[in-house]
Chain A
């Protein structure tokens, strides 16, 4: 055996795939950049202006703090409410959407419906509700509910489908009705995953609720777009601080809860 034998770090076939992938990404990138026809002429000046504006944001202006904090509370409670409503509805519907406990044909219909609701972003749903109901947090909460409902139905019905078929069989054999099988056989098994899916969705809803206002669906996002349109960067800076504080604290609380709460006690 020669001493200068080379050991390849990556399998040959994999290596060619990587090279192909990187080449096509580079080509796609160059093509996209070319097609976008961005104007680079004023780029430097714009970047300088952007930094100027962002620096001005750090001179927080607290004068409207009551309005801003109330809007933040509105966003927060919108997210909580949307999570509660959609979790309850999705919990009820998910039994019909799980292939192992539902009637034939029904799961495909419900899952298809939910997939098409999910394919449309939350913000577009909010925009549709704003067009129907008018400006305000009500439209935002409904938009959030719609998307979270479809999301949670998928998550919950997946958890139900993972329930051991043997234990369902055993319950049926003792003469338990459908409702009894669900209540004693399925619910105790999926309880933990339902709570963690709902918690996950709650985090998403908090993030979404702060931007709903940008399309006119109320909450703290409305204040942000209001002050930015008036070029009132000092107040907008304070709004951004509130948004950051909200999302940071939710993240921290949830990291804590996942460790401390005994979910089985619930």
Chain B
């Protein structure tokens, strides 16, 4: 299994990510997967080749808070998650509104298994 995963709630997400920013850790990426009752989002950080991970669980129709005001580079991957899985993301620094990887006549939310 993966070492060093910390489970946090939705409410303390922004404060934990700001702590990582102050420590100077590099954001690797976000990963999203579908569970039976909702979604699970993982945040991966790296500090001199040592990794730390945060896990957040959200329900099927709940929105996700964006971290792009702290780490600007996260907006590309959050746009892609919202297009692939149909999750609503609040407070994005730059919102592509469904045109980043999908086109106007593509199927909606293609990686979602249970519609």
Is the A/B pair a real complex?
no
Residues of chain A whose beta carbon lies under 8 Å from any beta carbon of chain B: none
**Interface residues, chain B, with chain A CB atoms under 8 Å away:** none
